[in-house]
Each structure stands twice: as C-alpha cells, then as structure tokens.
Amino acid sequence: MKISVIGAGYVGLVTGGCLAAIGHEVICTDNDAAKIKTLEAGRLPIYEPGLDSVVATARKEGRLTFTANPAGAVAAGDAIFICVGTPPLPNGDADLSAIDRVARTIATEARSTKLVIEKSTVPAQTGQELQRALSVYGRKSNLSFRVASNPEFLREGTAVEDFLHPDRIVVGVEDEASERQLHEIYRPVLERKFHCFAHGGKCADGPLPEWLVTTINSAELIKHASNSFLALKISYANMVSDLAERLGANVDEVLHAVGTDPRIGKSFFRAGIGFGGFCLPKDLQAFVHLAERSGVDFSMLKEAEEINHGRIHHFMEKIKRALWVVKEKQIGVLGLAFKPNTDDIRFSPAIDLISALVSEGAHVRAYDPEAMERARASFPHLKYAESAYDAADNAEALVIATEWDQFRHLDWDRVRESMARPLILDGRNLLSAREMKAYGFEYYSVGRPD
C-alpha cells in the first residue's frame, strides 16, 4: 500500500520506517527541511535503538523516501498518517495548530480520496474537528476524506519493538472501509509475517497483537487514559516509597510483591525521581484539562502531577542530608536523558535535578551515553564529563539520575578510588545497596533503608 507519513519526529520516523519494513511503500515528509536533508543523507536526527537499520534497509529496498515537499507526500499516499507534534500550550491544553495546518495541506493538495489517520496524541473529539477541517479546506475539490484514529503506544528506546510486536493495535473508525484499509496496513504485524528487524530476522514467540476496533472518540480517549494511568501508577509507587522510607521498609520488595498480583502488574511500578519525557507529563496535563472542560472532576490526576513535581525536591533533601552543605561541592551526575536508551532530554527529571543542584551552588559535571549532544545544545553552560569515570573523578557525590544499564556495570573500585568522597545517591534504585556498601561506598537510594 502507498502510505504518506507527515511529521518525521520520533513517532513519524518509527511509523514510516516500520510500515516500510513490513512491506509498504512509504513517503515521509516534515516541514523541517534540515531534518529531511539529514535523513536523505542516510543519517537519523534521533537516537532510537534499531531504527537505523530499519530505515537504512527500507531505503535500500526503495520502500522509504523522504521529501521536504508536503504536497508531493500528500499526493503519493492512499493513506496518510499524521504524526506531527502536539506540544502543550501554556495552559496545559494540547496545541493542535500543526494538525490544523496538515489538514489544510491534505485538503488542498490531495487529488484522490484519502484515509487520514491521526497518530499524534490528541484530545478526544479531535477526529471530528479534523473531519470538519478537511471538508472546509477541501470544499472546492469535491473529494471525500475518511478520518481514523490510530494512537501510538511507542516507548522511546523500544519504539521499533513496540511497533512491530505490540500488545494491541487500536483503530478508531466510523466506517467499515477505513477499518478494512487499516487492517490491511497492519496485516503483517497482526499475523507476524514480515522480516523481523527487531529480532535479527526471527520474531520472538508470544501472543499475536489484539486488534481493537473502536469509535474515533474512544480511540483518542484510550491514548490519554493509558498514559495518565501509567503516570498515576508511578506516582503511587513514589508515595509508597516515601512511606517505606519513614517505616524502614524496602519499596522494591513492597512493589514487587504488590505487582505480582496480575490485577496490578509489576511493570511500570518503580519508585525514583519521577516520570518525564515528552509524553507522560504532557498527556497527563492535557487529560486534566480535557476533563475540566468536559465538567468532570478528575482531581486524582492533578494529585499525580503534584506528587511527580515533588520528587526532585524530595531527592534534593536527601542529597542535602548526605552532603550537609551542597554549595561549592563537586557532584558527578550520571544521566541526562529522561530514561535510558534514548537521547531525549525533554522534561527530563535528570535535567530538573541538575538545575536544582546548580541553583544550590553545586559544581555539577554530568555524563550520559547518548544525550550529551542534545544537552550541550540546550544547556551550553553546564559542565560535561567525558565518561562516567570522569564524572566521578574528584567528586564529593555521584548521583544516578537515569538508569542506563552501563551505569550498573562500572568498575566500582576505580570509581571509589577516584572520588573525593565515596558517596552515591541513586535516584533510580539502579544499584544494590548491599553491593555498594561492600565496595566501600556510602549509599543512599529511594524508598530503601539506608
């Protein structure tokens, strides 16, 4: 099938690359001409494990092209995926102006009937507005546009895997033709019949994805309801963690046992310095606003947001207790990205923590395996280390802010010897307290007995 993807950010690139990988002919466009140039030159503007080989192979086989010309992209596809950004407005609502712009482009540039699929995260009822915009802007063309919603559940760091082996594919449609077309697009994933890039050609066993057909309004609500629930779950874990600290319990043990109940589930149930990234915080805020506008008091979501905001302050108090005076102390920080396996620093708790340390007068030197370039561009005055060891060198404390796997396996004797004071503050409960103490560190983490 010929497919157009509008927006070559995280979602658009993964969607376009993977749709090409499963056999479709995909053209991807973005209004950032520099990004398209980078992609045409065979480079990726983001770090996402596995995406480079998916994109390179699809391009080599001629199934994936990039263009800076949106009109050309619109004309080429029978189905058009909208993957543009919906960043938060100052009041927390999602800014839908990019979606509106795309609707205008599609309506004016299309020369044949199109299925227009919203993949960007949008508040419920956006589909209706999109349908209306397409009719208004396209009133002279006499073409009909069908609209569908197909929310993404792509986690940064595992997005290729999530696309090719999802638990579920949700499609919000209002007519059978749209459902059939979407089913055809996803058939290779639903039947697991494609060359699996994520597993070197062989797909892992396991249940096939569920095909969930809903109305457009429900599909839009599913996306926000999923991410908001995840945010609630993390904030709940963090409150249990505070209580565990007060009562001398171990939050990891508690959450593991609680999560063993399949009704609750173990995943996404870790305490730490809070959730960040470009999706969870913004989706939570947008959902709160949507509820308010709809006259529904969903204040428990606000509570989850407040709890999350408080995490940095809570951890800073721990750092202050350990260091006594923070001012002028050299502190190494491991992690800048909002979570491991990504170079994304947007709304990163690690960055918030560094800002809090710097505003207390600490001399911070930070290191991240992938996010240094982005951090340097956004925070040029911050001091960066060459490696995790360099960050620890001469430091009076080493703070773990992102749970990269490589930080788990450092040469801890070397780290201890190079530090001015062997003190570790683990904001992600990445390490074992027992092991760190055996290595001779003073070690503090979250929700576990010191």
Which residues are known catalytic residues?
279
Q: Could you tell me the smallest distance in angstroms from the CB atom of residue 154 to ligand UDX?
A: 5
Q: Could you tell me the smallest distance in angstroms from the CB atom of residue 416 to ligand UDX?
A: 27
State how far the Cα of 106 lies from the Cα of 108, in Å rounded to an integer: 6
Q: Could you tell me the smallest distance in angstroms from the CB atom of residue 338 to ligand UDX?
A: 4
Instruction: Name which of 307, 236, 244, 232 is nearest 446 in CA terms.
Output: 244
Do residues 334 and 402 touch, judged by C-beta distance below 8 A? yes
Name the residue nearer to ligand UDX (CB basis): 105 or 348: 348
**Contacts (Cβ under 8 Å, ≥6 apart) of 243:** 249
368 binds ligand UDX (CB under 6 A): no
**What residues between 268 and 287 interact with ligand UDX by CB under 6 A?**
268-270, 272, 274-277, 279-280
Block residue for tokens 């070197």 = 200
Residue of this chain nearest to ligand UDX (CB atom): 279
Task: Quickly count: other Cβ atoms within 10 Å of residue 198's Cβ.
Answer: 21
Name the residue nearer to ligand UDX (CB basis): 158 or 432: 158
228 binds ligand UDX (CB under 6 A): no
**Contacts (Cβ under 8 Å, ≥6 apart) of 1:** 24, 25, 78, 79, 181, 184, 185
370 binds ligand UDX (CB under 6 A): no
Please report the sign of the dihedral spanned by the C-alpha atoms of residue 193, residue 170, residue 30, residue 38: negative
155 binds ligand UDX (CB under 6 A): yes
**Contacts (Cβ under 8 Å, ≥6 apart) of 207:** none
Name the residue nearer to ligand UDX (CB basis): 269 or 315: 269
Q: Mask 242-271, x = binds ligand UDX (CB under 6 A)?
A: --------------------------xxx-
Please report the sign of the dihedral spanned by the C-alpha atoms of residue 73, residue 74, residue 79, residue 84: positive
Name the residue nearer to ligand UDX (CB basis): 58 or 345: 345
Q: Could you tell me the smallest distance in angstroms from the CB atom of residue 345 to ligand UDX?
A: 11
Query: Which residues sit opposite 114 in a β-bridge?
Result: 145
Name the residue nearer to ligand UDX (CB basis): 7 or 277: 277
305 binds ligand UDX (CB under 6 A): no
Name the residue nearer to ligand UDX (CB basis): 265 or 449: 265
State how far the Cα of 312 lies from the Cα of 314, in Å rounded to an integer: 5
Name the residue nearer to ligand UDX (CB basis): 154 or 254: 154
Do residues 448 and 244 touch, judged by C-beta distance below 8 A? yes
Task: Go through 313-352 and write b for each residue having 16 or more CB atoms within 10 A of its CB, e for each that does not.
Answer: ebbbebbeebbeebeebbbbbbbbbbbbbbbbbbbbbbbb
For ligand UDX, the binding residue among 63, 114, 282, 339 (CB under 6 A) is 339
156 binds ligand UDX (CB under 6 A): yes
For ligand UDX, the binding residue among 197, 338, 367, 384 (CB under 6 A) is 338
For ligand UDX, the binding residue among 137, 153, 379, 389 (CB under 6 A) is 153
Helices (H) and strands (E) in the chain, counts: 18, 14
Please report the sign of the dihedral spanned by the C-alpha atoms of residue 292, residue 296, residue 302, residue 304: negative
227 binds ligand UDX (CB under 6 A): yes
Q: Mask 12-51, x = binds ligand UDX (CB under 6 A)?
A: ----------------------------------------
Task: Go through 236-268 and write b for each residue having 16 or more CB atoms within 10 A of its CB, e for each that does not.
Answer: bbbbbbbebbeeebbbbebbeeebeeeeeeeee
| Interface with ligand UDX (CB under 6 A) | 152-156, 227, 230, 234, 268-270, 272, 274-277, 279-280, 338-339
